[in-house]
Amino acid sequence: MNMLEYAKTILKKVSFDKEIFKREYKKFVTMLSDKESEKLIEWQQSNFRDTINGNNLKTKGNKDEEV
């Protein structure tokens, strides 16, 4: 299992709690490569849009923004 798939697995398991999901999501976005981070962001937007406000998604390019 690669890191992107691992991140998705963990995020699915913690999706019951928005705060835990946000914390883990932030960690994975910064830990993954740029390409993998973009894939994770797209995955999150299509699967868990309500868990994190889509307008304030944290990406590698805007690490200071709130999630």
**Whole-number pLDDT of residue 53:** 67
Assessment of whether the complete model's pTM goes beyond 0.75: yes
Average pLDDT over residues 40-51: 92
Distance from chain centroid for Cα 47: 11
Amino acid, single-letter form, for residue 53 = N
Residue 67 has pLDDT above 60, yes or no: no
Distance CA 43, CA 46 (A): 5
Residue count of the chain:
67
Residue 41 has pLDDT above 80, yes or no: yes
Average pLDDT over residues 39-44: 96
Neighbours of 54 (CB within 10 A): 12
Residue 50 has pLDDT above 90, yes or no: no
